[in-house]
Chains A and B, each alone.
Chain A
Amino acid sequence: MAEQFLILRNPGAAPLSELPILPFDEFRSQALAAIIGRKARVVAFFAYAHGAAQRLLLILASDQEGKLLLSSSEIEGAFESFTPSSAQFHWFEREIYEQHGIMPKGHPWLKPIRFDSPGSNADEPGVCEYFRLAGEAAHEVAVGPVHAGVIEPGHFRFQCVGEQVYFLEISLGYQHRGIEKMLRQGPDKKSLHLMETCCGDSSCAYSGAYAHLLESLQEDLCPTERTQVMRMIAWELERLANHTGDMGALANDVAFRPTMAYCGRIRGEFLNMTAELCGNRFGRGLIRPGGMGYDINDAIVAKLLPWLQASGKELRNALELLFSRAGVLDRFENTGTVDSKTAANIGMVGIAARASAQKQDLRSYHPYGWYRENPYEAAWAESGDVYARALIRYEEIKKSLAMLEPALKKLPPAEKNAATPPLSLQPKHIAVSMTEAWRGELCLCAITDEQGRFEQFKIVDPSFHNWYALAMALRGEQISNFPLCNKSFNLSYCGHDL
């Protein structure tokens, strides 16, 4: 049996007619063969209604080959669950059941993940059955949805024996805004803004992925070389700001105040640099399909360069200080460990995956935009603990700083101002676009109808892959280590809930 996949490069589009529609058994066996044989990862797996039929669409990524493998199948109300064969599918199948009521037969527990739709039987969000631990020494700690700090809502249930966490269950959905539904029938004047607000701290990664998606669906929308460089600047500034903030928060959680205080301020410097580009600290309006919302003029370059150098120096100093403290390292090491086998099994992505010895980074293995011409070497570590996740951030901070300075110095000249053509997407196409957001892999997939409008729009935020990894990291940990472990992942609630 020959492999039948639609093969795309990131970002890429193809006519819908090229997407194979296989009988379910073949679809399943080919997918599992690719996951085992080619070490492919599940990027997205979702269902959609195509006329009266129900379709499953699977997107796999083969990192070593730099290819995306797409396949689909038509089913009727139910299919044989993939989860018992590959745990990467378990969250996706819960989503499919919740959104469409399609039953993945053999899935261990089809609990709702967002509490909004046909499959979900719950009255109120978070109200459902949970894993329970019985016994004299066992107790349960329930936290949220409203937490003690300034943080998004989510519900956490710890099953503990004494101080030790036996199992953590995470129940989300409180931030659900129905974004995927609002995007259907687009693109319209709201679409770009909805993308920017899927996950507020990753606005540039989202608007960049969205721009690539549309550019792959419309030939005359092609970004200039200057645009590519400016987008990279936006992405790396976003990464720097968030990584810096996280390092400060990690320092805070182990009571090392100096680095916490310094990083809290330096994070703001990077946000203010972004605001210098477009007026908004989160890069809203900076990237748009076909080009940029704002240009970077010489005055801005002259302002940013010394600013970047000074902040970079201060940041390196703050982080060197952090990593030189024995007390800090003692708290970081062997805390919240996710081993590499687990990471691969559950399909982790991004910094957390790289900290657990997974060699994956879209900038290296599925390069897009600027990274296509400028190879990026992914940072990775083996220990899978809080220390590794902190170290990856530190390494990436250094790499981002090293990329930004030369890019700002050598901005390609502005080309003749050709007006961006009006949007008119290719009809009956499927497109996939992925960017490495600061947390990890962000995937957007669109299917267009006869008029070139979005018939389907699927968003897979990096946090969608990684929330379960946080639960795994807490197994056997002291419950008092939860804040530290949680910060070392720093996952998004709104990105997951959409």
Chain B
Amino acid sequence: MLEILKSRLLQGYRAGKFPRRAPVMPERFLGLPLIDNSLCQKDCSACLQTCPAGAIQKESDGGITLDCGKCIFCGKCARACKSGVIKFSRQHDLAAFERKQLLRRDASYSYELQPKPIIRQLCGRSLKIRQVSAGGCGACELDFNVLNTLAWDMARLHIQVVASPRHADCLLVTGPLSKNMLLALKKTYLSMPEPAFVIACGTCPISGGIFAGSEAVCDGIEEVLKPDLYLPGCPPHPASIMEALLRFMGRQMRPMEGDRENKAQKEDKAQEGDKKPEDSLKA
């Protein structure tokens, strides 16, 4: 017993501070891509040719559209572009409520800020998730699982993974939907009480990701299930997933454009010396 207490002292209090504080993303993290089409050269297609996921399209006006729903965030396009049209910011919040909002042509953060009222009404206070892995590489599952560790501890924000689909508010799907998982995914969905919401976690369930085009996969879940939230990433960072879940519940508003840095700094200042983690729930 003494050893356990001693160890506890050494390990310290390490609970994560998200969402009260903005997460510290790694220096080299590739988050939301920012596009500046005014710099795009008309007859250049370097980014298209290098993109392994076919996420970039050249438009008739000469600019490009980058589809985050296909992007695997490898950053090759940004390196290939000599004109600096594509830049990957370190912004972690990437989720969108509509598929078309993932198509990026500019540097804005202009997503819809509010979830559907029905989701907020039903899941605003607590969210029970049933996760189904439908193909894929297992990385999305791992980084979703991380939210259960004390570094993120999503239970404190009233988000819980449940074993049975009958207890679930929403289905969180990862993977490009392998044909071998088609039946199991349908059965899981049909076992859920209505309305059963669907979250596509990772680029794979949105479009098939890097596996798109393989005869063994369905190129994403959209043909079978209509997602209520799209979260691109390969895999999405735990902070991205957590933020997406909170926004899905209507608990976390996306800061307005330009306001981002100020808000994070203000929050940091306000919370200096503040030791009560429960406060995050009141915000």
Contacts and interface: CB of A to CB of B under 8 A. Distances in A.
Contacts of A179: 211, 214
B178 A174 contact: yes
A223 interface: no
B74 A317 contact: no
A203 B7 CA distance: 33
Interface stretch (A76-84, A268-276, A380-388): A268-276
Interface string A173-199: 111111101100000011011101111
A264 interface: yes
Contacts of A151: 133, 141
A199 B141 CA distance: 12
Interface stretch (A85-93, A278-286, A450-458): A278-286
Interface in B192-226: 209-211, 213-217
B178 A175 contact: yes
Contacts of A436: none
A314 interface: yes
Contacts of B134: 153
B28 A279 contact: yes
B214 A178 contact: yes
A318 B11 contact: yes
B234 interface: yes
Given A197-B139, A272-B26, A181 B214 contact: yes
A135 B30 CA distance: 59
Given A176-B216, A268-B146, A281-B237, A145 B184 contact: yes
Contact of B8 (A182, A192, A258, A280): A258
Contacts of B39: none
B132 interface: yes
Contacts of A24: none
B3 interface: yes
B282 interface: no
Given A177-B176, A200-B235, A193 B74 contact: yes
B214 A146 contact: no
Contacts of B215: 178, 181
B178 A493 contact: no
Interface string A384-412: 00000000000000000000000000000
Contacts of B227: none
Contact of A278 (B28, B76, B181): B28
Contact of B144 (A150, A189, A280): A150
A145 B135 CA distance: 12
A220 B11 CA distance: 49
B135 to A, nearest CB: 5
Contacts of A253: none
A321 B138 contact: no
Contact of B75 (A115, A268, A277, A285): A285
Interface string B143-174: 11110111100000000010110000000000
Contacts of B10: 314, 317
Contact of B137 (A174, A200, A280): A200
Contacts of A150: 131, 133, 141, 144-145, 161
A192 B134 CA distance: 22
A156 interface: no
B52 A193 contact: yes
A146 B237 contact: no
Interface in B106-158: 131-146, 148-151
A177 B144 contact: no
A324 B176 CA distance: 44
A314 B11 contact: yes
B252 to A, nearest CB: 21
A265 interface: yes
B272 interface: no
Nearest to B14: A265
Contact of A146 (B30, B161, B184): B184
A413 interface: no
A115 to B, nearest CB: 6
A178 B217 contact: yes
Contacts of B145: 150
Interface string B63-84: 0000000001111100000000
Given A150-B141, A150-B144, A264 B150 contact: yes
A200 B146 CA distance: 15
B214 to A, nearest CB: 4
B7 A276 contact: no
A318 B6 CA distance: 11
A107 B56 CA distance: 49
Interface string B1-42: 001100110110010000000000011111000000000000
Nearest to B88: A279
A279 B91 CA distance: 12
B50 interface: yes
Nearest to B185: A146
B201 to A, nearest CB: 10
A215 interface: no
A142 B60 CA distance: 55
B151 A268 contact: yes
B163 A149 contact: yes
B7 A318 contact: yes
B101 interface: no
A321 B3 contact: yes
Contact of A182 (B139, B181, B214): B214
Contact of B149 (A265, A278, A279, A285): A265
Contact of B135 (A175, A284, A285): A175
Given A203-B137, A281-B143, A492-B138, 15 more contacts: A150-B161, A175-B178, A176-B180, A177-B176, A181-B216, A197-B137, A197-B234, A200-B138, A200-B140, A203-B139, A265-B150, A275-B28, A276-B27, A317-B11, A497-B178
7 contacts: A179-B211, A197-B209, A264-B149, A280-B29, A282-B235, A314-B10, A317-B11
Q: Across the A-B interface, give the 9 residue pairs with the lowest CB-CB distance, nearest first.
A: A200-B139, A200-B137, A264-B149, A178-B216, A279-B28, A148-B163, A197-B137, A125-B180, A275-B26
